[in-house]
Amino acid sequence: MKTSDFFYDLPPELIAQTPIEQRDGSRLLTLDRETGRTEHRRFYELPELLRPGDCLILNDSRVLPARLLGQRLPGGGACEVLLLIDRGENVWECLVRPGRKLRTGARLTFGDGELTAQVVGEEADGNRLVRFEYRGIFLEVLERLGKMPLPPYIKEELQDRERYQTVYSKVLGSAAAPTAGLHFTPELLEQIGARGVGIGYVTLHVGLGTFRPVKEETIEAHPMHSEFCTVPPETAELINRTRAAGGRCICVGTTSCRTLESWAGEDGHMEPRAGWTDIYIYPGYCFKVMDGLITNFHLPESTLVMLVSAFAGREPVLAAYRQAVEERYRFFSFGDAMFIS
């Protein structure tokens, strides 16, 4: 299939730059996979769309304040480092700017010397291996000095960094938020549980590859990025029990979907597992375990639009996106949501 098959026209003013005050007050567009029917709701109405005996699977990864602004040594020229993957022994794979000046051997400083670093290697894709030096606990230093790594389409500074975390985030490691979960509140999760819906958690640490555009003419030629994910035993048990009883497994976000579909057996049976996944889901894929998807709207021609199209059909998805544009929905990370069932 051609990448251009997944294009839709999005007016720039519909890209949400700030979160709304009430998390679950966002709009919710529902799409029935069988009929193609859509409805316009609010996210706080989600419990009405779930059935007793369903299970809801959420990604509990927490975003690192992984964007560091500092100076190059010697000379003091400005630099920026974005932490991507912990390679061990205080070495991280990073995106850096300015790349032409941050070659192997370059030295950096952050926070008046509280954190220093040196570029110790270069990856084939242009990322750098950076070794950090500090006193104390690295994550505590990062909490003091780091900024939230917001997606490139968000131009405004985030005032409250917790607003880019889900209320159930727990495991530090993501370079970007699993944004479908940003709509949930503790109260909404309590309502869902009280309705007889099981709630389970997986962990997938979101990498910046999720924002990289598909540059190839055909989608099959696109190299998919890898991300680390985990399905704990209690979540695997919940999914197996739910499906055996005839309930639906509903994923919150494409990250939860990719985690489950990576480790599920061909018959949909789920085993506890952890590891790296580069699963690439596009039309033609046969889903093994996911029966419903709660997701935000995604960039045109992105792998995420392709995943949603694989689940609900390319034409119904693009028609729903066009409808969302006409109705002036808010798009992307701080935008509105869809529920596909």
Task: Give residue-wise pLDDT tens across range 25-57.
Answer: 999 999 999 999 999 999 999 999 999 999 999
CB-CB contact of 120 with 129 (8 Å): yes
Please state, rounded to an integer, the average pLDDT across all residues of the chain. Answer: 95
Tell me the average pLDDT across 228-237. 98
Separation CA 25–CA 154 (nearest Å): 20
Q: Which residues contact 96 (CB under 8 A, 6 or more apart)?
A: 79, 80, 81, 82, 102, 119, 127, 128, 130
Q: What is the pLDDT of residue 329?
A: 98
In the predicted structure, residue 125 carries a pLDDT above the cut 90:
no
Tell whether the model's pLDDT for residue 208 goes beyond 90.
no
Candidate from 135-149, 163-177, 206-220, 317-331 with smallest mean pLDDT:
206-220
- Average pLDDT (77-84) is 94
Rounded mean pLDDT, 54-83: 95
Q: Which amino acid is at 340?
A: I
* Cα distance between residue 176 and residue 165, in whole Å: 9
Q: What is the mean pLDDT of residues 326-336?
A: 97
